[in-house]
Amino acid sequence: MTLDPITLSVIQAGLLQVCDEMDLSFSRAAFSPVIAEANDRSDGIYSAEDGSLIAQGAGGLPVFVGTMQYSTRTLIERIAAGITAAPDPNDIYIVNDPYLGGTHLMDVRFARPFYRNGKLYCWLSNTGHWPDTGGAVPGGFSASATAVEQEGLRLPPVKLFKRGELDREIYQIICSNIRVADQRIGDVKAQAAALIVGEDRLNALMDRYGDETVTEAIAELRTRAAQQMRAFIAEIPEGRYESTAWVDSDGVVDEPLAIRLTVTRKNDALTFDFTGSSAPCLGPMNSVRATTLSSVYLAMRHIFPEVPISAGAFEPLHVTGIEDTFLDAQYPRPVSGCAAEVSQRIAEAVFAALVPALPDRITAAPAGTSGNFALGGHDPARNRGFVMYQLSGGGYGGNADHDGLSNGCSTIGISKAPPVEIMEQAFPVLYHHYRLHEGSGGAGQHRGGFGLDYMVELRRGQAQASFVMDHGRFGPQGALGGSDGAPNEVTVYQNGAPHVPPHLSKEQGIPLGPGDRVHVRTPGGGGYGDPFTRDPEAVRRDVALGYYTEAQAEAEFGVVLSGGKVDAKGTLGLRGTRR
Amino acid sequence: MWAGMKRADSGQVVGIDVGGTFTDLVQIDQATGAVRLAKVSSTTDNQALGVLNALAAADSDLAALDLIVHGTTTTTNAVLERKLSNTGLITTQGFRDVLELGRRTRPQAYGMKGDFRPIIPRDLRLEVPERMDAAGEVVVPLDENAVLTAGKALLEMGCESVVVHFLHAYANPAHELRCAEMLRSIWPNDYITMGHALLSESREFERGVTAAVNASVQPLLARYIRHLEAELKRGGYRSELLVMNGNGGMVSADRVAEEAAKTVMSGPASGVMAAAYAGRAAGVENLITYDMGGTSTDVALIRNAEPQVSNETEIEYAMPIHVPMVDVRTVGAGGGSIARVNAAGLLQVGPESAGSNPGPICYGRGGAEPTISDANLLLGRLDPGHINVEGGVSLQDVRSIFAAKLGDPLGLSPEDAAAAVIRVANARMAGAIRMVSVSLGADPRDFALFAFGGAGPLHASALAKELGIPRVMIPPRPGITNAIGCVVADLRHNYVRTIGTPLDNLDMEMLRSIFDAQTAEGRDMIDGESVSLRSIRSVHSVDMQFIGQTHLIRVPVADPGISRADLQAEFEKVYHDRFRVDLAEIRAAVVNVNTSVIGERPPVDLSTLIDPAGRAATMAEARITARPVQFDAGLHQTPIYRRELLPLGATLHGPAVVEQMDTTVLIEPGDVATCDAQGNLMVEVAR
């Protein structure tokens, strides 16, 4: 029998609902702000056979699109091979090994077997970003690690809960190897409880519609998702599309890393060939296979948000040529930059390759960096240590409909930035300004959005500043004739003397004393379309609002202003000459 | 005034709600129970006109009215459409872009597009040298010359109102106070909003936007209310005009503009208040309200007859208004939601909507996309006789469009396609309602579904079944629920005090004294209003968390003198019910102390909303016709009843359709509905 499309739609909504409830439950009960506020987590349902993705919550962090199917598959393979103990009901496995289908070490996965009538039916799994998993640097973002051991504790899949009981011994080993361990129990319980919530809801769904119907629906939904993705792919004219995107450097060796991408649309499939990309690097800007695939998937989801996340949606997407490049790093290459930075550059390469083919759907390049700035030190007034994180947004790319958004979240994230007032309450710092990075939006018919410009001062004690950002050397790419956005700029003032990190936006352990300052200006988005076709009135308004100077209006947009008004003749002259 | 107070107990009370499409009026004579109703088109440019039209339509004698309570969308529309008064900002040097930078987000998780317009444009945001630190200590003194220069510059640029918003003013408002004082010497009106005055909490973006919204709508609301008062007076009205706030309480017209931001969500809040009131009268104290209109659906939660209040409403992307308001969430579909077959060959309903113009096909305004309303019509749930014939649309037109756009690609008849649209829409709405209740810590199965709005009662029984909700309550006049909310609303003041103290160290006497002080302040406010009251009561709660968490969970406190052990136990219970987590390892903290002080108005008898004298004696007399109606379980020849004729106490066995002036009620096969003494239809949902 075949299922009617209506029952299918209803079960599809039901499966998504299970995942959404897991996401919500996890965030609300979690302790770490990175999960509770920044939603750096994801929950999903995975097949019992090969771990392929059945459904994933819409509110999960984008970079986790698809990654858990690889960790679940590895788990299934290891169980079959007898390396990992076979599951019992109410077990929960923990794993964070990047090379076993992961991202960076801080992303810790839980997996729980889901049984129906005593038989393993599928897996429920979630990922949460733990604030620390040990390693050289608090928080795990070491800019100059050269091996994964320097980045933190690496866990193969092991049972953290055995038949519903927390294994206190394993838990103690973990706690002895990570910072601020005393609060981790709250996150662990939240992460585990979310899977139990998912189990209840999935049981309810299957009770309601029957196991056979749900099983059939899952298979059919996979087919349909593939069909839907194929239909969208058919919108792309057949052919080859090429792009190159650059990572500034790996934090250790000061040389750019290239992502070279050729996308081929043939029939109703896309091949993403990364042949020719840079070799694995010494520093932490490596990506692992699961993250690389996931980055391609998340880019496609930004392009076709209508297609629900499922293994079927990924079927027509083929990724090749990553072997022996820094996009498929092997043990013990360091990987802390993979999820936060390299993934965004992979997405940029996808956008840049396909924007000529899908000019209405794709934007010029967004800022594409998480803006990770960590300040760790000792606060003498409170007589205790602290670790402060400032993640910041940047400009988005201009697009067919609009100018780019200013200060948007990273391509791979969905989190809010902490308010200045909260930062100043919690840490011995004072912000001197927190404003738009003026002039940073790439010029275009629709200009890029603006980055953020902040300056923060250490008020007392001693501290060390670390940066793992990117796009310091190259600004986010413009599209269809638009200019690149302004690059990231980091300057550290020690005793008033400016210091620019040799790797521009990456450095670790820069010592700061009272009165020393950090000045960061994040990238603006790329411009979209020829800037000389931008409505002169829009340029006039941009200048009136202080987004650009009059000189920029002339040089970048070919618009002459005089006395706050558009000089039509002068503008025509300028724009005419360049044609 | 005193005479008015006295009369309000026995006199004529009018509630008027201005919605997006209609202005609704209900007038109740409290002595006789006589009711007048009116529904007229809203007049968007000058809402007062619609209000007067409604009064005229109800044939109300303004001179004989004792109280008018008004729900308005003036401020909501102004914000959503950005038709705001010219407003300037004076803020801390280095921080004028806070309102534009937001919290580093984007409108949707997927898709890197989107648009955002800051509520105050950049050229009207000026900086002055001044700085407090997080402890409230002065880092940079206020530059008073710069304040005057900035103020004059804003006036020159045509600003009518101004916001003073300084970093850390919640910790020490001295600079804001001084700045506002200086501005008063040059500002031609009272429209000066200080950031800390509405919301004295950290988070500069949220506090700043809340203040900016207040300042931007203040002159508009003040002008509108003054105009309305003058018009009412000209018509002979001599009593008090009260305005609904978003917290579900009302406030006198003289004071409403001071905190204009609080009137955002005025309309939806009054609907929820009506539900709470009706629920209390019927002995149903736990309700999920479900207000389905043409373009969207509002959902709220009522526990123990108290609507849930949130301090963190976001009325659109990056537009937070952090003052206490009834927690109404907009979910999923409305009657105008469009159905289509997507590239996967799956039927999809929404998120696109035909809105009210062109609207569904059956409106006859040129709509050509199949919608939920059209599906209801094709299935016989809505009276096909009501189809708009003036627009030249026939049932056959609707059928053809359903066949071409849905039926053919799905391999279904137009009627089966319509049934599918309803099923899919219900599944999605049920999911969305479930998410709202779960996010508020409630299991929908413990609630009754209170259905109102034009389309709510059509879908309520099916949704309840989907959600495991055992009972649906449909008030006598679902289509004018917001106006009824105005009539029954109380005076209501909410207080929040942030203490952020571990429960172990909390001075329980201090907690009690905070509750007492909040109660005293609320009583003072209420004593200042000229409205007669039955009683004043306080409802207490605390927002708690395990130390180290960021999210809060609300714990009701029945006794302000609660002991530490009892509060710990209450917290653990609420937390476990919500998250299935026990955390003996970690201590709890009390973050916020909350009190709502409620001045309860004399009870209003709602049983006369449908004239008891007009009711039929038997069900047979209430039955006006029968027609085939398509349900999920198949086609049934279904009796059609007239709501106004249903005998009190009567029982209806589904399938049945009940039609009335403002809505249509669908009772699914197997469900059993009774008409209670208040005129509500109580539907027991078949398992």
Residue A304 has pLDDT above 90, yes or no: yes
Q: Helix (H, G, I), strand (E, B), or coil: what is residue B39?
A: strand
Q: Looking at beta carbons, which residues of chain A come within 8 Å of B438?
A: 21, 24-25
Band of pLDDT at residue B528, cut at 50, 70 and 90: confident
Interface contact B345-A5, CB threshold 8 A: yes
Q: Looking at beta carbons, which residues of chain B come within 8 Å of A419?
A: 103, 202-206
A477 interfacial to chain B (CB closer than 8 Å):
no
Mutation site, A310, A421, A477, interface B, largest B CB count within 10 A: A421
**Nearest partner of B261 among B19, B518, B84, B21, judged by Cα:** B84
Interface contact A436-B100, CB threshold 8 A: yes
Is the bond preceding residue B384 a cis peptide, omega within 30 degrees?
no
Interface contact B579-A420, CB threshold 8 A: no
Band of pLDDT at residue B525, cut at 50, 70 and 90: confident
Residue B9 has pLDDT above 70, yes or no: no
Interface contact A433-B94, CB threshold 8 A: yes
B194-218 average pLDDT score: 93
> What is the share, in percent, of chain B residues with pLDDT greater than 70?
97
- Choose the closest CB to A21 out of B96, B134, B438: B438
A127-132 average pLDDT score: 90
Q: Looking at beta carbons, which residues of chain A come within 8 Å of B170?
A: 421
What are B610's two structure tokens? 């449908």
pLDDT tens digits along B350-385 = 888 887 778 889 888 888 999 999 999 999 999 887
Mutation site, A6, A415, A519, interface B, largest B CB count within 10 A: A6
Interface contact A20-B424, CB threshold 8 A: no
- Choose the closest CB to A302 out of B111, B205, B423: B111
Q: What is the structure's pLDDT at A360?
A: 95
| H runs (alpha helix) in B468-507 | 481-488
Q: Looking at beta carbons, which residues of chain B come within 8 Å of A363?
A: 112-113
Interface contact B548-A183, CB threshold 8 A: yes
Q: Looking at beta carbons, which residues of chain B come within 8 Å of A36?
A: 549-551
Q: What is the structure's pLDDT at B7?
A: 38
Q: What is the structure's pLDDT at B11?
A: 84
Interface contact B104-A417, CB threshold 8 A: yes
Interface contact A406-B439, CB threshold 8 A: no
Q: What is the structure's pLDDT at B8?
A: 44
**Nearest partner of B535 among B585, B499, B491, B576, judged by Cα:** B491
Q: What is the structure's pLDDT at B5?
A: 38
Q: Say which range, A1-15, B141-155, B330-344, B412-426, has the weakest mean pLDDT.
A: A1-15
pLDDT tens digits along A393-432 = 999 999 999 999 999 999 998 888 888 998 998 899 999 9
Q: Looking at beta carbons, which residues of chain A come within 8 Å of B121?
A: 545
Rg (CA), chain B: 26
Q: What is the structure's pLDDT at B46?
A: 84
Q: Looking at beta carbons, which residues of chain A come within 8 Å of B422?
A: none
Residue of chain B minimizing CA distance to A26: B579
Residue A496, judged by CB atoms within 10 A of its CB (0-12, 13-18, 19+), counts as exposed
Residue B4 has pLDDT above 50, yes or no: no
Q: What is the structure's pLDDT at B1?
A: 28
Average pLDDT along chain B: 90
Interface contact A406-B122, CB threshold 8 A: no
Distance of residue B188 Cα from the nearest chain A Cα, in angstroms: 26
Band of pLDDT at residue B387, cut at 50, 70 and 90: low
Residue B549 has pLDDT above 90, yes or no: no
Interface contact A5-B109, CB threshold 8 A: no
Interface contact A13-B95, CB threshold 8 A: no
Domain boundaries, chain A: 5-226, 363-534, 536-541+549-578
Q: What is the structure's pLDDT at A139?
A: 81
Residue type, B252: S
Q: Pick the more confident residue, B484 or B255.
A: B484
Rounded to the nearest 10 degrees, how much is the dihedral formed by the CA atoms of B63, B69, B74, B76?
A: -170
Band of pLDDT at residue B19, cut at 50, 70 and 90: confident
Contact (CB, 8 A) for B139 and B168: no
Residue B449 has pLDDT above 60, yes or no: yes
Distance of residue A255 Cα from the nearest chain B Cα, in angstroms: 29
pLDDT tens digits along B257-280 = 999 999 988 888 999 999 999 999
Residue A22 has pLDDT above 70, yes or no: yes
Q: What is the structure's pLDDT at B160?
A: 98
Band of pLDDT at residue B388, cut at 50, 70 and 90: low
How many contacts does A have with B, using Cβ atoms within 8 A?
213
Average pLDDT along chain A: 94
Rounded CA separation A397/A355 (Å): 11
Q: Looking at beta carbons, which residues of chain B come within 8 Å of A24?
A: 435, 438-439
Interface contact A224-B345, CB threshold 8 A: yes
Q: What is the structure's pLDDT at B497?
A: 85
Chain centroid, CA B610 distance in Å: 25
Rounded CA separation B378/A48 (Å): 43
- Choose the closest CB to B112 out of A27, A397, A421: A397
Is the bond preceding residue B268 a cis peptide, omega within 30 degrees?
no
A5 interfacial to chain B (CB closer than 8 Å):
yes
pLDDT tens digits along B93-111 = 999 999 999 988 898 889 9
Residue B188 has pLDDT above 50, yes or no: yes
Q: Looking at beta carbons, which residues of chain A come within 8 Å of B95?
A: 420, 433-435
Q: What is the structure's pLDDT at B182?
A: 98
A446-461 average pLDDT score: 98
Q: Looking at beta carbons, which residues of chain B come within 8 Å of A408?
A: 104-106, 112, 114
Interface contact B204-A14, CB threshold 8 A: no
Residue A446 has pLDDT above 90, yes or no: yes
- Interface subset of A 342-361, CB within 8 angstroms of B: none
A91-101 average pLDDT score: 96
Residue B679 has pLDDT above 70, yes or no: yes
A524-541 average pLDDT score: 98
pLDDT tens digits along A326-360 = 999 999 999 999 988 999 999 999 999 999 999 99
The angle at the Cα of A108, spanning A78 to A319, to the nearest 5 degrees, equals 65
Q: Looking at beta carbons, which residues of chain B come within 8 Å of A13?
A: 424, 427-428, 431
Sign of the four-CA dihedral B26, B29, B32, B34: negative
Q: Looking at beta carbons, which residues of chain B come within 8 Å of A197?
A: 580
Distance of residue A303 Cα from the nearest chain B Cα, in angstroms: 6
Rounded CA separation B41/A365 (Å): 47
Q: What is the structure's pLDDT at B537?
A: 93
Residue B92 has pLDDT above 50, yes or no: yes
Q: What is the structure's pLDDT at A370?
A: 93
Annotate B605-636 with DSSP letters as a single string: --TTSS-GGGS-SSHHHHEEEEEEEEETTEEE
What are B178's two structure tokens? 């001084």
Interface contact A6-B347, CB threshold 8 A: yes
- Which residues, 6+ apart, have CB-to-CB distance to B246 below 8 Å? B262, B263, B264, B265, B266, B269, B313, B323, B325, B326
Sign of the four-CA dihedral A544, A548, A554, A556: negative
Contact (CB, 8 A) for B650 and B625: no
What are B258's two structure tokens? 């001071």
Rounded CA separation B99/A434 (Å): 11
